[in-house]
Amino acid sequence: MKNPVKKILLLSIASIVFLTAYSQGKKRNSLYDQDLKGKVKSMVLRNYCPVKIVGGGEKWLEFTKQIHKYDESGNEIESITYDIEGFMQNKNTSRNKYDEKGNLIEINSSDSILKYKRNVTITYNDNGYMTKIIQCGSGEGCFKGIYKYDEKNNMIEENVYDSINRLYDKSSYKYNDKGNEVEYNSYAEYGNLTQKHTFTYDQNGFMVEDTQFDLHGILKNKQFFKYEGIDKNGNWIKKSKFSDIKQPPSSYDVREIEYY
């Protein structure tokens, strides 16, 4: 499962990492990254949050709407985001290139709203595991990611370098016997730990707890998740987020999924 706690400038490069990484020998793509199973063609994700109303009480409003489209290999080819007022915030389209083994080796993407273009090339080792990606984009230079795996082919380390080959960001990961990520550590430019997350999952493999610690190991934040409406492919339809499991949710997501 993808970890959401990446630095802002690394959001795009991190998304490519999880398009191509492996867990327990299973190839991970955009569908895996977004907790989707089966041959998904498109997914609409709506996020709802409560707002106070005049006279007391509250009502739930749709804060964002995302539309994702995927190719038959499970990698994203288009994503669109709308804000609470229905205005389009971004529209990203991607052209994906694969080698003869079906590995994703190049992505050319552009955003017609944010006005940027990005090229990503991906290198694999002899066993078919991603070892390096290079990403170059409008106004952001080039970044390079180097990846290491354990004996079960789980990605355990990610090192990102800037355009002058200086370490920009480092992350490490640990997994349980089912291949679920149970620990994430983030390090600063000089290798100093900045934060740690631990994750707990239910019997369906869905994350139910995300616990965050600061660099001293002191509890910083804890979030809980509940799921409703599992479809025939094992995909959740509604996901609620809580800061206190005994209180109402702080937000929830609803998904509409279309299959090939």
What architecture (CATH level 2) is domain 8-259? Beta Barrel (2.40)
Given this model, what pLDDT does residue 115 score? 87
The predicted pLDDT at position 198 comes to: 98
Q: How confident is the model at residue 62 (pLDDT cuts 50, 70, 90)?
A: very high
* Nearest Cα residue to 136 out of 159, 113, 99, 161: 161
Of residues 140 and 9, the one with the higher pLDDT is 140
Per DSSP, which regions of the chain are E strands? 22-23, 26-27, 40-52, 58-70, 76-82, 88-98, 104-111, 116-124, 130-137, 141-149, 155-161, 167-175, 181-187, 193-201, 207-214, 219-228, 238-242, 251-259
pLDDT of the residue at 193: 92
Helix spans in the chain (H): 11-20, 30-33
> In angstroms, rounded to a whole number, what is the distance separating the alpha carbons of residues 214 and 1?
21
pLDDT on residue 9: 38
d(CA 145, CA 226): 33
With 50 as the cut, is the pLDDT of residue 103 above it? yes
User: Which of 160, 221, 169 has the alpha carbon at shortest distance from 192?
Assistant: 169
In three state form, how does the secondary structure of 162-191 look?
CCCCCEEEEEEEEECCCCCEEEEEEECCCC
- Per cent of the chain over pLDDT 70 is 89
Confidence (pLDDT) at 157: 94
pTM for the whole structure: 0.84
Whether pLDDT at 250 is above 60: yes
pLDDT tens figures, 1-37: 444 333 333 444 444 444 444 344 445 688 988 889 9
How far apart (Å, rounded) are the C-alpha atoms in residues 28 and 45?
A: 20
Q: What is the pLDDT of residues 159-200, one digit of tens each?
A: 999 989 999 889 999 999 998 999 999 998 777 899 999 999
101: pLDDT strictly greater than 50: yes
pLDDT at 27: 57
Report the greatest alpha carbon distance in the chain: 65
In whole numbers, what is the pLDDT of the chain averaged over residues?
Answer: 87
**Residues 192-221: tens digit of each pLDDT:** 899 999 999 999 999 999 999 999 999 999
Residue 252 has pLDDT above 50, yes or no: yes
